[in-house]
Chain A
Amino acid sequence: MIMPNNVNTTNSVTKFRQDFAIIANWLKFGSKLLDLGCGDGELLQFLRGSLEVKGYGVEKDDANVLACIKNNINVIQMDLEDGLSGFENQSFDTVVLSQTLQAMHNTEKIVLEMLRVGKEVIVTFPNFGYWRNRWQITTGRMPVSKTLPYQWYDTPNVHLCTINDFNEFCRNHQIEIIQRKVITDSKEVNFMPNILGNLAIYRLKSR
């Protein structure tokens, strides 16, 4: 998990992250879900009760794998940078990569792998085009914020992008955007999302 778990949210599911409720809305009851970079399994726990999702998490970190097992979440320990070779084509209804994309080295490869394994893909990432980030850069500093809580020298984030960048990525890779939501502090942003939104949530499939 790249983001800290204690992001403040104003909605009712304060224990969970602000993108979870939107992800839950895009899933069918009883669907088969793969959550990449699942942390301690909080998304799968969040979904377990309400949607009876058949879920599996993928995690690299020992402590997170242990936490998943403790939380009774199916977890597969592997490194996403190696791709998803243990998973068959189109074997999941949805593959989720929640706030991990920006920390991947093989960013392009993992998105294409997700589209191979999942009928649908949900990707969430912090929007680097958010006005506070832009403002901090104009003041001559690298952005540090709630969605980007690291200093330049200790950040795991190596592939930050803006909403416009990601739109172009989808266009160039024959990826269809089924739905997109942009939020700031749990509130949906419809006006100038690449400036006013700090978290982007995309629902994708192969064209």
Chain B
Amino acid sequence: MQEDNSIGIVAPQIAHFDTPLALKCGKVLPQFDLVFETYGTLNASRSNAVLICHALSGNHHVAGKYSENDKYPGWWDNLIGPGKPLDTNQFFVIGLNNLGGCHGSTGPKSMRPDSNKPWGADFPIVTVEDWVNSQARLLDYLGITKLAAVVGGSLGGMQALEWTITYPDRVDHALVIASAPNLTAQNMAFNEVARQAIITDPEFYGGNYYEHQAVPRRGLRIARMLGHITYLSDDVMGEKFGRKLRDQIKYSFDVEFEMESYLRYQGDKFAGEFDANTYIRMTRALDYYDPALRYGGDLTQALSGTKAKFLVLSFTSDWRFSPARSREIVKALLDNERNVSYAEITAAHGHDAFLMPDQHYHAILRNYISNITTGDDYAK
């Protein structure tokens, strides 16, 4: 018996694709792999699939554990499982690692098919649109024509939104959480500082650090520290750390405040497990996403071809993807008379709130998702 409604032990799978994928940047990936996990059972009419799109540093391991003693479940385990808001007794949930990632899908650290060297700096810059196209390939591979829902937070929310634009007939519901229709200049500026930290690290070697057996650890660490500051609110940092000292003031540049200790810990942890080339590409995908651009900046026009029903959620203390940005999406959907609900969740945790098991937030998700009907429901 699993405790706390966990989906239990899960294992990743790999889908290999031999048909070339044309990317937005003009380059073509001749072949690629996508690593993914699934939870729950695909129903007879293949109509209960829910795709989870990950954000900047996420991956395919969304829920469950890899072993009994695994201390860290998937990154959205609090949402997905039997009896959880996204109930695996009812839905077939798919998580994948996006193209360009560093957790098993083809990316900068993968071997090039035409040589026995890793892609490194030559791996193309992938976009939200490219990810959605590759995700559609994964659905084809799994024999799924239409998603009951696509769900994503932050950069994942941009993918959910893009699904409804590019594949309007392949998605019934889109849950766009703590996201935005594009990044503001300030938001892009944080990404640029993060990239510069990585790119100017002497261990970066122009992106070809693998062959030098080097890791641009310092750059990645600073990039992650900066990221963490922007994912939290001033209030929650104040509450969590305040001006607390670890010991007493020593008039040094060592770790003296608790906040510094936290940032360094997060930075070190991340630098040890994430790939710098992936990080700079993920931030670029964020920068470039702007579906309204093709329509002269008119988001209403950009969303005019969508058919999905939408749930748009934002968090009051999220200043990196503020409620105002979510309301822009809502307005464009209203202009198009789409079915849309919007809730602004009161939360202290800033952007990170979308990953927290806040009671009201999860109640909204649970109730929205429980109203999603699948093909088998109609047959009953």
> Which residues from chain A sit less than 8 Å from chain B, CB to CB?
32, 54, 56, 62, 65-66, 68-70, 72-78, 86-88, 91
Contact = CB atoms under 8 A, between A and B. Distances in A.
B343 A65 contact: yes
A44 to B, nearest CB: 12
Contacts of A66: 343, 360, 363-364, 367
B363 A74 contact: no
Contacts of B368: 69
Contacts of A74: 339-341
Interface stretch (B88-96, B140-148, B239-247, B329-337): B329-337
A153 B341 CA distance: 35
Nearest to B371: A72
B341 A68 contact: yes
B341 A69 contact: yes
15 contacts: A56-B334, A66-B343, A66-B363, A66-B367, A68-B341, A69-B343, A69-B367, A70-B367, A70-B371, A76-B334, A77-B342, A77-B343, A86-B331, A87-B334, A88-B335
Nearest to B373: A72
Given A74-B341, A76-B340, A86-B331, 17 more contacts: A62-B343, A65-B341, A65-B364, A66-B360, A69-B311, A69-B341, A69-B343, A70-B371, A73-B341, A75-B342, A76-B334, A77-B344, A78-B327, A78-B342, A87-B334, A91-B334, A91-B335
A24 B354 CA distance: 39
B342 A62 contact: no
A75 B333 CA distance: 13
3 cross-chain pairs, A with B, having the tightest CB-CB distances, nearest first? A70-B367, A86-B331, A76-B342
Nearest to A62: B360
A32 to B, nearest CB: 7
B175 to A, nearest CB: 12
B133 interface: no
Contacts of B344: 77-78
B169 to A, nearest CB: 21
A69 B339 CA distance: 12
A86 B327 contact: yes
Nearest to B365: A69
A102 B360 CA distance: 29
B313 to A, nearest CB: 9
A87 to B, nearest CB: 7
A76 B367 contact: no
B362 to A, nearest CB: 11
Contacts of A88: 334-335
B266 interface: no
B334 A86 contact: yes
A66 B335 CA distance: 23
A87 B334 CA distance: 8
B335 A76 contact: no
Contacts of A70: 367, 371
Contact of B337 (A54, A69, A78): A54
A76 B343 CA distance: 6
Most buried by B among A69, A86, A88: A69
B312 to A, nearest CB: 9
Contacts of A87: 331, 334
B346 interface: yes
Nearest to A63: B360
A86 to B, nearest CB: 5
Nearest to A32: B337
A88 B332 CA distance: 10
B327 to A, nearest CB: 6
Given A86-B330, A86-B331, A62 B346 contact: yes
A47 to B, nearest CB: 15
Contacts of A78: 327, 342, 344
A62 to B, nearest CB: 6
A69 B364 contact: yes
Interface in B355-380: 360, 363-364, 367-368, 371
A87 B342 CA distance: 14
A72 B173 CA distance: 13
Contacts of B371: 69-70, 72
B126 to A, nearest CB: 33
Contacts of A62: 343, 346, 360
A78 B331 CA distance: 12
A115 B360 CA distance: 34
Contact of B330 (A65, A69, A76): A76
Contacts of B360: 62, 66
A91 B343 CA distance: 21
B344 to A, nearest CB: 5
A56 B368 CA distance: 15
Interface string B115-134: 00000000000000000000
Contacts of B342: 75-78
Contacts of B337: 32, 54
Most buried by B among A56, A70, A76: A76
Most buried by A among B334, B339, B360, B363: B334
A161 B238 CA distance: 47
Nearest to B340: A74
